Structure 1
Amino acid sequence: MSEGLQKKSSSWKLAIACGGTGGHLFPGLAIADCLHEANHQPTLILSEKPIDRLASEDSSYPKVFLKSLGWQSGQRLRFLAFFPLRFLDCLKWMFKYRPDAVLAMGGFTSLAPTLAALLLRRPIFYHESNTIPGKAVRWLAKVASLGFVGFESAKALLSPARVVLTGTPVRREFRSLERSFCCSELGLDPEKPILLITGGSQGALGLNRKMMQALPWLHQSLPQCQVIHLCGMQEDLSSLRNAYSQAAIKALVLPFMERMELALGAATMAIARSGASFISEMAAAGCPSLLIPYPHSADEHQRVNARTLADANAALFMDEKEMTPQRLIAAIERLSADIPFREKIQENLQTFDAPDAAARISEQMVHYLNCGGFLGQNASASTLSAPSGAKPASSMLNPERSMTMMP
């Protein structure tokens, strides 16, 4: 550790690169909350995607918005062409803000901040939520001081000596859910079943189209069922609303819901993609679900995520290519009517819930910055030590003005 870090006596400034998808952003926000409460200073590095702006607009932490592209097929030349500009943006910002460390939550949005931190000799941490590490995380693992993973299988594929199994952070709002309150906030009847449908920020289109086909069967099978349908940033919003109206099903159809805890707190069951962040929120809320992995996820990590839960009898599993209206309705009927099955799923979901994940990650990073090492695999996260003289903050940091970095 550098001499400057050894002499540090005030709170630490940590940049959290968590843009690109809700699966990166929401765990990053949970960690930011823990750091802030221990009197440290988190800043969020986000992409300019609408999902990032929408999901973070109520957060009062300082934010930096960077243009970003993923490493998808067909965009790789553009990624390579624009990456130097993104890197220079990060470097300028880091010279101005001077963070003590960078935490990368995965995805290619985190590469430019990480490379800038490497050049400035700042400690680098990362978190991988999925069962199979993505390409960006596999590279990060080679240069990071310490890594954190949500699943044991991911740890084995990285650098085990410098990786801690923590689980995936979930915001604390998911820990104190009152169904009657959640239903009231959403204008739904708590005496009737509620189905949540969400495809995440990337994979909603296939679910949207199949559910529109299944609505007549849903009304016939469960005429009292209400639906919360988060359709993503697609062009399906008006079509879906019309389809629910024609099927005489009470439905709340939205592109996105920032307060996802209300949706999961109200829902009696869910149909969803199997991104690791949603799985962690689902486990925290104890919501029985049918998981339909996004078929184009990198390295089929969503399929492995879903299979991991299905093999543990903590969720139902269905391939998208096998998704028909009839099979969807059969799964919904089972999740709704088979009470012993629902209770068993809820019991098994507890295995995948890590209520102290954000605190453990925060504690490990602060300990590393204070002492130059990590606490070990089984360290307790009952308290998060702040530097000498710091007191837990009782309110959010006063926001600095958001910055949009452009070429």
Structure 2
Amino acid sequence: MGDKSVMLAAGGTGGHLFPAFALAQELGRRGVAVDLVTDERGDRYGTGFPARAIHTVPSATLAGRSPAAAAKTIMALASGVRAAYSLIGRVRPGAVIGFGGYPTFPPLVAAKLRGIPTAIHEANAVLGRANRMLAPRVSRIATSFEQTALLSEDLAARVCFTGNPVRDAVIDWSARPYRAAEPDEPFNLLVFGGSQGARYFSEAVPPAIAQLSLDARARLRIVQQCREEDLADVRNAYAAAGVTAELQTFFKDLPERMANAHLVIGRAGASSIAELTVLGRPAILVPLPHAVDNDQLRNATRLADAGAGWCLEQKALTPEKLAATIASLMDKPAVLSAAAHAAKQLGRPDAVVRLADLAEELIGARTTNRA
């Protein structure tokens, strides 16, 4: 198939799949063929991944600390490396780029064994477990934040700060400037918990909204992502509070919904952070608790420290506290506008261009880095 191609390795979670999707779009514009290698979850979000082929190789995540669990994981990864080695021999990509998570481990190791240039992309503010294992073995390391925790200093020469790529639709909607709602205008509140929604927000946000004043509730226009089993309860709660709400299990037009929002409430996954900052939208971020390496807390803290949003940890978040925060922000358009501006300053709309430059450098089509 030739060397003018790149193989992308990404697991079936939105945080890994969406930046790979954005890079595939950009490489396609440059005439570079793309293959995607993933685990059995594949493209479960129905994105229609822009690759000439989608390949599946075995993988596993360490699910326990027992010797039996470790042995099972090692066997699955070894099987994946053998399958990926054979696949890469057939496809013959010019480079292989991984986007984190254990599904990227077999293709990156196999590429190393075949002498093919490799890179990993870290979406979060802390280097993930799989990427920590791969970092010493790859040609280049692309980061989404200028400072990435747990990234060894002796690898600094391989690091390239690119930012986290976002999909074309996000870039398109980023041209819409933010305008805060005045106190007598409707207020658009968007609530989502990442690519799969979140039970927590279905349980936590409606009780908080119910505590707002009648005037505040009358102003609200809520768009919320919910799990199928939570839809009826959330719909009934908002109806009882007299609040206008649109609920869906998944919004394919989420970038447009984000662009239209005056305030977002969400988790602090890497893709959400990247999209919020490129769009320049203020957000109340509730990091997923108990996440490995506290990656979401680190992501949210980076935004909060820059004045681009508010980080509220779930363990200390009561309906009263969330209601007070929402009410305060609804009455302070200048504060929201300032946060939107700060978020926009953090955004890297050129991240996909920088990462595509790196990919072309790896396959020999580009000899210099973009400044």
1:131 to 125, 147, 154: 125
CA offset digits 1:199-218 (Å, max 9, x no partner): 12477222222123324225
Structure 1 match to 2:301: 307
Note if contact 2:36-2:51 (Cα within 8 Å) is conserved in structure 1: no
Match of 1:110 in 2: 104
Q: Which residue of 1 aligns with 2:226?
A: 231
Q: Which residue of 2 aligns with 1:64?
A: 55
Name 1:54's counterpart in structure 2: 45
* Aligned-pair CA distance for 1:54: 1.9
CA shift, 1:322, in A, is: 1.2
Conserved? CA contact 1:127–1:148, under 8 Å: yes
Which digits, 9 at most, give the CA deviation of each residue in 1:182-205, with x for residues without a partner? xxxxxxxxx732211111247722
Question: Taking every aligned residue pair, what percent have the same amino acid on both sides?
Answer: 29
Pick from 286, 295, 298 the counterpart of residue 292 of structure 1: 286
* Alpha-carbon offset, residue 119 of structure 1: 1.9
1:399: which partner in 2?
none
The alpha-carbon distance between structure 1 residues 60 and 32, as it changes in their structure 2 partners (threshold 3 A), is closer
Q: Give the distance between the partners of 2:94 and 2:3, measured in 1 at CA.
A: 10
Q: Secondary structure at the match of 1:270?
A: strand
Match of 2:73 in 1: 79
Aligned position for 1:169: 165
Q: Could you say what the CA RMSD is over the residues aligned between the two structures, in angstroms?
A: 2.7
How far apart are 1:69 and its partner, in Å?
3.5
Cα distance in 1 between the residues matched to 2:74 and 2:174: 47
Give the CA deviation at 1:374: 5.7
Aligned mates of 2:64, 2:368 — CA distance in 1:
37
Q: Which amino acid aligns with 2:30?
A: A
How far apart, in 1, do the equivalents of 2:336 and 2:51 lie?
A: 38
Superposed CA deviations along residues 127-167 of structure 1, whole A, max 9, x for unmatched, are 11111101111112111111110112217724110001111
The alignment status of 1:207 with 2:201, answered yes or no, reads yes
Q: Residue by residue, what CA displacement relative to the aligned partner does 1:322-364 show, whole Å, maximum 9, x if unpaired?
A: 1111111222223322111111111111231111111111112
2:44 is paired with a residue of what secondary structure?
helix
8 Å Cα contact 1:155-1:163 kept in structure 2: no
- Indicate the SS of the match to 2:308: coil
How many angstroms does 1:91 deviate by? 2.9
Question: Alignment partner of 1:194: what SS?
Answer: strand
- Return the alpha-carbon distance in structure 1 between the equivalents of residues 314 and 229 of structure 2: 20
Aligned counterpart, 1:222: 217
Determine if contact 2:124/2:144 at 8 Å carries over to the other structure. yes
Work out which of the residue numbers 235, 241, 261 in structure 2 matches 1:267. Answer: 261
Q: Does 1:160 align with 2:156?
A: yes
3-state secondary structure, aligned to 2:163: coil
SS in 2 for 1:160: helix
Larger relative contact order (CA 8 Å, sep ≥ 6)? 1
> For residues 220-274 of structure 1, what are the alpha-carbon distances to aligned partners after superposition, in whole Å with 9 as ceiling and x for unaligned?
4322312221235x74334333333443433222233333212212211111111
Q: SS state of the match for residue 80, structure 1? A: helix
Take 2:197 and 2:63, find their aligned partners in 1: how far apart are those partners?
14
CA contact (8 A) 2:64 2:70 kept: yes
Once the two structures are TM-superposed, the CA of residue 297 in structure 1 deviates from its matched residue by 1.5
In structure 2, do the counterparts of structure 1 residues 54 and 259 end up closer, same or farther at CA, with 3 Å as the change threshold?
Answer: same
CA contact (8 A) 1:214 1:325 kept: yes
Bigger mean CA offset, 276-285 vs 87-96: 87-96
Distance 1:117 1:321 in 2: 42
Between the aligned partners of 1:244 and 1:66, the Cα distance in structure 2 is 44
Q: Secondary structure at the match of 2:268?
A: coil
DSSP-derived class of the 1:253 partner? strand
Give secondary structure in 1 for the equivalent of 2:96.
strand
Q: Contact 2:94 / 2:362 at 8 angstroms: preserved in 1? A: no
Q: Which runs of 5+ in 2 are unaligned?
A: 177-184
Q: In the superposition, relative to structure 1, how do residues 179 and 290 fare at CA in structure 2: closer, same or farther (>3 Å)? A: same
Q: TM-score, normalised by structure 1?
A: 0.80
Deviations 1:293-320 (A, max 9, x none): 1112111111111111111111111010
CA distance in 2, matches of 1:205, 1:71: 25
Shift of 1:12: 1.6
Contact persistence 2:25–2:50 (CA under 8 A): no
TM-score by length of 2: 0.87
**Structure 1 residue corresponding to 2:359, chosen from 359, 365, 375:** 365
What amino acid is the match of 2:270? A
Number of aligned positions between the proteins: 357
